A and B are shown apart, each in its own frame.
Chain A
Amino acid sequence: MKRASRLLPLLLAGCSGWQSALDPRGPSAQDLHGLFWLFTITCTVIWLAVMLVLLAALLRRPPATKGAAEAAGRRSARVVGGAVAATVLVVAGLTFASYLATRAISSDQPEALVIRLRGYQWWWEVTYPHEQPDQTLLTANEIHIPTGRPVRIELAAADVIHSFWVPNLTGKQDMIPGRSNSLVFTAEKPGTYRAQCAEFCGLQHAHMALHVVAEPPEAFERWRTAQLAEAPAPEDAEEEEGRRVLESKACAACHTVRGTEAAGNLGPDLTHVASRRFIAAGMLPTTRGSLAAWVADPQSIKPGNNMPMVSLTADELQAVSAYLTRLR
């Protein structure tokens, strides 16, 4: 059995681009990256030119005679006029380049995989809609996508404005209550890409991350099938006790574990919580220890979040963390 904690170093090993716009891993991000360098190089050249002219102006000896000064004035007028004209051209060129990039990025993709993402303070609800309701998948804080196929993320917000941003794959788009937005992108290579809420959304805006896991289509389908299943059954007495605690304590009022009596819908779905790489929206890598720590005192790990501290005995805590670890 591979522990989630062993995944973490693996994930981070190749993390030169762990949440970075400078390390594009999909066509949209590549277009944006190209545009970024076009702008950066153009702007650098302009900046250097202005600085050089300034330096030359500072070091230059002013014209000695009145006639020479007047001639220099006329020359300057022509140069200034030319520079303004050049500014107009550069600005027009950059506007056009940026228009082309927008067009390339936002082309319609009818065959795209649709995923619904809903922002909450401070976590993400993920839905994979399907015509058959029992095939519709509900999960949280981690999106799996097949490589090579466009995905359309439909963005909504439950409370305040959030913003979905996976810089390695594409630019951000806001999630606004009362409005619907969407974002289409493709991941070309398998990998885990970190996303983070980019619109200030309150106390724990800093800890509202999401992981986008791109995997080959077969792996994606396997994942999807596994996630559709009900929660795994407890395998020993401790896990059995853990399920009982989860069902009987406050946990069940907010969380759903399909296949148990826990059917709350205020917090993330926990049916396969241990299969996810992180808990609490990217806060901690998923381990039995981190699950126990989180349940024991969510408010000191992520102050202000909406999960209350549920008073449990040491044994109950042990049992719940054992059961949660089982939920793979």
Chain B
Amino acid sequence: MSEALEQRDLRDTALDEVLLESRLARTWHTPPGWVGFFTTVDHKRIAVRYIVTAFAFLLLGGVLALLMRLQLSRPEAGLIGPDLYNQIFTVHGSTMMFLFAVPVMEAVGVLLVPLMLGTRNIAFPRLNAFSYWIYLAGGLVLWVAFVLDVGPDVGWFAYVPLSGPQYSAGKRADIWAQMITFTEIAALAIAVEIVVTVLKQRAPGMSLDRIPLFVWAMFVTSFVVILAMPAVVVASTALILDRLVGTHFFNPAEGGDALLWQHLFWFFGHPEVYIIFLPAVGMISSILPTFVRRPIFGYLPLVLALIGTGILAFGLWVHHMFTTGLPRVGESFFTASSMAIAVPSGVQIFCWLATIWLGRPVWRVPFLYILAFFFTFVLGGLTGVMVASVPLDTQVHDTYFVVAHFHYVLVGGAVFPLLAAVTYWFSKMTGRMMSERLGRWSVALLFIGFNFTFFPMHILGLQGMPRRIYTYQADLPWGGMNLFVSLCSLALAAGFLLFVWNALRSARAGEAAGDNPWGAATLEWATSSPPPPYNFTRIPVVRSANPLWDDGGALPVASGLSVNRRELLITTTAEARPEARETSPRDSAWPFWAAIATTIMLVCSIFTPWAVVWGSIPVAVTLVGWFWPRGTPEDDS
């Protein structure tokens, strides 16, 4: 018997439930302590780590926001000088976009996509580990630079020539540009993992029309990442080259063009908004049914709306450039395409309304966040229609109206759903539930604090207040409203702090959650909370879009996988018919070392172009170490 247990191709069919679980745990477990910390490739551990880091950056970015509100609370306040203020708003914007919003959405995808698809790990798990380390390094580069007073000070979209060699001396703009490289590598890696996981690792029977909507959203988002992020990599590389080796991409005196930067940046920058927003609508579509006790209304239109938004996202970039004097024909086209995005957004809103209409609301905290989302996001979407109009945009562009608009869309449209998601899926990260009572207080504080902080900014913008000013003169009629906004931002900050406190406290001492505490329908609730390292003892078999509601008491599963090596199931792309048993890589420290080598190369290349040459050698060595076969059972075929 013991000999049989050691054989490489031992199948789950040969073992009883208890023995099977202990065997799988042995095969998939990560050693405790530091070794495990640096070597794990478990998508759940990496995702939680990603989410915690992203929330830490959210808090840091929030502190910067409060500092700005402090400075702006009265005219000609001398608390923060222009140099520091410019660093603060640049680091605030860059942190929120590149170190919080995009990574946190991708991280929730890394956590949930494999669970929702009924597989045991994400595709390319070592790339996933690598992605986290690179992301962390990028965040540290930015923040260490900021603490050392060499934080970037050119705005989160770093327009040339201000960020170019002539007007940004020192290394501040390079640090910004290289931080972009780090976060883009991290994001692209996850996008590839998610695309391949969704295409090939779905549970048997999960045909395209049974994929949970959050997974659809992450799938579309990943394609948007793949097609949009190269643009900003091209842009930031060209910027570094202009600054470091004297190329002339953005220098009009030598045939370059300042608007080239804007085209490249916004070709990425507008889709970036949807990279943040699409996962959020996926969260809503996946959470809402649980709290109205019925399946989502309009699955197909919702999927089409996700795809449509993803495609339209690439036709909008020029609406960030309506005041740059582009030809009028082009501007009209981009007005039309920018407004057209209201149609897929409308489809989603109407389908969710119909879902609520046909269901029976359960007033728990995630549902309250969804209601807060409706209130704020619809408003932000409508002001989006306003800024999409070329003539109106000439009045509101680069004012506090736009500041208000994008915070409504990003906080209302993405952060509220994210907080709903963290509350909802908390048990899958920690095994516990967040406190309902504290949760209600956070919703209230965040909702009230947010609207009172940001709604008046619309009016400030119309009254002529430009964004990115470190102060304003006393004779301008903005003082009262700015003070009001600054005071209300404290309520907003309190809401976030309460949320974090609730999460920290509940992670230690929250009420223990069962497998399916909310009575939800999708596969992540078919396993324990938190799930074991191998996610599912046996791969589930899917027969409907709401498997846990439609399959009665027993979960249909498949058997026949090996237990002595990390094995998962490959299925066909459309119908999800079983195709092959595939192995999933073991833990490895190589992704960590590769990330260290990459970090050294990227940081040094801020100072000398030769770093790319000699820095690529350790990167190559670590990559060979990463991929070199080891003769483990996972290498069998």
Residues of A within 8 A of B (CB): 8, 12, 15, 18-22, 31-32, 35-36, 39-40, 43, 46-47, 50-51, 53-54, 56-58, 60, 62-63, 69, 72-73, 76-77, 79-80, 83-84, 87-88, 91, 94-95, 97-99, 101-102, 105-106, 121, 159-161, 163, 165, 167, 170-174, 176-179, 181-182, 194, 196-206, 282, 303-304
How many residues on B have C-beta within 8 angstroms of the other chain's C-beta atoms?
A: 79
CB distance from B109 to the nearest CB of A (A): 28
Q: Are B466 and A197 in contact (CB under 8 A)?
A: yes
Known: A20-B464, A73-B358, A304-B83. A102 touches B343 (CB 8 A): no
Given A161-B162, A202-B167, A204-B82, does the pair A47, B379 have CB atoms closer than 8 Å? yes
Could you tell me the distance between the alpha carbons of A159 and B81 in the complex, rounded to whole angstroms?
22
Q: A87 — which chain B residues lie within 8 A by C-beta?
A: 342-343, 346
Contact A43 B385 (CB under 8 A): yes
Minimum CB–CB distance from A99 to chain B (whole Å) comes to 6
| Interface pair B466/A76, CB less than 8 Å apart | no
- Could you tell me if B391 and A303 are in contact, using CB atoms closer than 8 angstroms? no
Cβ-defined contact, A22 with B463, below 8 A: yes
8 residue pairs A–B, Cβ–Cβ below 8 Å:
A21-B463, A21-B464, A51-B375, A58-B356, A76-B297, A87-B346, A88-B343, A178-B252
Minimum CB–CB distance for B74 against chain A, Å: 14
For the residues of B in contact with A, the DSSP-based class is: helix
Task: Check B257 against A178 for contact (C-beta < 8 Å).
Answer: yes
CB B281 to nearest CB in A, in angstroms, measures 15
Q: Are B398 and A98 in contact (CB under 8 A)?
A: no
Instruction: Select one of B325, B353, B398, B477 contacting A54, CB under 8 A.
Output: B353
Cβ of B249 within 8 Å of any chain A Cβ, yes or no, is: no
CA distance A39 to B396 in the complex (A): 13
> Does B253 contact A160, Cβ atoms closer than 8 Å?
no
Q: If A171-B394, A304-B83 touch, does A18 touch B475 (CB 8 Å cutoff)?
A: yes
B351 at interface, CB cutoff 8 A: yes
With contact pairs A39-B386, A98-B390, A181-B325 given, residues A161 and B258 touching in the complex (Cβ less than 8 Å): yes
Q: Which of B336, B389, B397 contacts A35 (CB 8 A)?
A: B389
Q: Mark B287-301, 1 if CB is under 8 A from A, else 0.
A: 000000000011001
A-contact 0/1 string along B387-414, CB 8 Å cutoff? 0011111111111000000000000000
Determine which of A53, A72, A83, A160 lies in contact with B161 in the assembled complex, contact meaning CB atoms within 8 Å.
A160
B563 to chain A, nearest CB (A): 44
Judged by a CB distance under 8 angstroms, whether B423 is at the interface is no
* In contact, B394 and A50 (Cβ under 8 angstroms): no
A21 near B258 with CB under 8 A, answer no
Interface residues in B588-624 (C-beta closer than 8 Å to A): none
Residue B441 is within 8 A (CB to CB) of chain A in the complex: no
Q: Which of B350, B379, B463 contacts A19 (CB 8 A)?
A: B463
Q: How far is the CA of A291 from the CA of B385 in the complex (A)?
A: 46
Q: Is B632 interfacial (CB 8 A cutoff)?
A: no
Given A46-B382, A60-B357, A84-B350, list of 14 further CB < 8 A pairs?
A: A18-B477, A20-B463, A46-B378, A84-B343, A87-B342, A87-B346, A98-B389, A172-B395, A172-B397, A178-B256, A179-B258, A179-B324, A200-B159, A206-B472
Contact A36 B323 (CB under 8 A): no
Counted as pairs of residues, one from A and one from B, with CB atoms less than 8 Å apart, the total is 234
- Measured between beta carbons, the chain B residues less than 8 angstroms from A84 are 343, 346-347, 350
Is B150 located at the chain interface by the 8 A CB criterion?
no
- Tell me which residues across on chain A come within 8 A of B467, comparing CB atoms: 200
A97 to B385, CA, bound (A): 12
CA of A52 to CA of B618, assembled, Å? 61
Interface string of B79-90 (1 = CB under 8 A from A): 001110010000
Contact B394 A173 (CB under 8 A): yes
User: Which chain A residues lie closer than 8 Å to B394 at the CB level?
Assistant: 32, 170-173
B374: interface (CB < 8 Å)? yes
| Separation of A148 and B386 alpha carbons in the complex (Å) | 30
Cβ of B335 within 8 Å of any chain A Cβ, yes or no, is yes
Chain A residues lying within 8 Å of B86, measured Cβ to Cβ, are 202-203
Whether B259 and A176, one on each chain, are in contact in the complex, defined by CB atoms closer than 8 angstroms, is: yes
> Does B230 have its Cβ within 8 Å of any Cβ on chain A?
no
B81 in contact with A167 (CB, 8 Å): no
- The CA-CA distance from A72 to B297 in the complex, in Å, is 11
Inter-chain CA distance A196–B477, complex, in Å, is: 14
In the complex, what residues of B have CB within 8 A of residue A181's CB? 324-325
**For the complex of A and B, 5 pairs with smallest distance between CB atoms:** A178-B252, A171-B394, A19-B464, A206-B469, A98-B389
Chain A min CB distance to B432 (Å): 29
Contact (Cβ within 8 A) B463 A304 = no
Closest CB-CB distance, A72 to chain B, in whole Å?
Answer: 6
Contact indicator B358/A98 (Cβ below 8 Å): no
Chain B 448-469, CB-CB to A under 8 Å as 1, else 0, gives: 0000000000000011101111
The closest CB in chain B to the CB of A60 belongs to B357
Alpha-carbon separation in the docked complex, A1 to B398 (Å) = 41
Cα(A46)–Cα(B350), bound, Å: 12
C-alpha gap A181/B258 in the complex (Å):
14
A21 to B397, CA, bound (A): 12
Q: Check A99–B332 contact: CB distance below 8 A.
A: yes
Known A-B contacts A22-B462, A203-B83; A174 and B167 likewise in contact (beta carbons under 8 Å): no
Chain B residues with CB below 8 A from A304, complex form = 82-83
With A and B bound together, what is the CA distance between A83 and B397 in angstroms?
30
Q: Which residues of B contact A171 (CB under 8 A)?
A: 323, 391, 393-395, 397
Q: How far is the CA of A50 from the CA of B396 in the complex (A)?
A: 25
Given contacts A39-B389, A76-B357, A87-B346, contact A173 B340 (CB under 8 A): no
Cα–Cα, bound, A318→B470 (Å): 32
Inter-chain contact A203/B82, CB cutoff 8 Å: yes
Chain B residues near A56 (CB-CB < 8 A): 357
**CB neighbours of B159 from chain A (8 A):** 160-161, 199-200
By a CB distance below 8 angstroms, the chain A residues around B379 are 47
Q: Check if B328 is an interface residue, CB within 8 A of chain A.
A: yes
Q: Smallest distance from the beta carbon of B408 to chain A beta carbons, Å? A: 11
Closest Cβ–Cβ distance, residue B473 to chain A (whole Å): 8
Chain A residues lying within 8 Å of B389, measured Cβ to Cβ, are 35, 39, 94-95, 97-98, 101
* Contact yes or no, B371 A105, CB < 8 A: no
Nearest Cβ on chain A to B347's Cβ, whole angstroms: 6
CB B136 to nearest CB in A, in angstroms, measures 29
Q: Which residue of chain B has its CB nearest to the CB of A51?
A: B375
Cα separation A69 to B394 with both chains bound (whole Å): 49
State whether A205 and B391 are in contact (beta carbons under 8 Å apart), knowing that A18-B475, A57-B353, A160-B162 are contacts in the complex. Answer: no
Partner of B325 from the list A18, A39, A173, A197 (CB cut-off 8 Å) is A173
CB-contact partner of A50 in B324, B351, B378, B392, under 8 A: B378
B343 near A91: Cβ-Cβ < 8 Å: yes
B304 to chain A, nearest CB (A): 11
Determine the distance from Cα of A106 to Cα of B325 in the docked complex, in whole angstroms. 11
The residues of B that contact A12 with a CB separation of less than 8 Å are: 475
Q: Which residues of A contact B398 (CB under 8 A)?
A: 163, 172, 198-200
B241 lies within 8 A of chain A by Cβ: no
Counting chain A CB atoms within 10 Å of each CB, which of B298, B463, B467 scores highest? B463
Q: Once the chains bind, are B353 and A53 in contact (CB under 8 Å)? A: yes
| A43 vs B340: C-alpha distance when bound (angstroms) | 15
List, in ascending order, chain B residues with CB within 8 A of A72's CB. 357-358
A282–B246 CA distance with the chains assembled, in angstroms: 36
CB distance from B550 to the nearest CB of A (A): 15
CB < 8 Å neighbour of B392 from A8, A62, A98 = A98
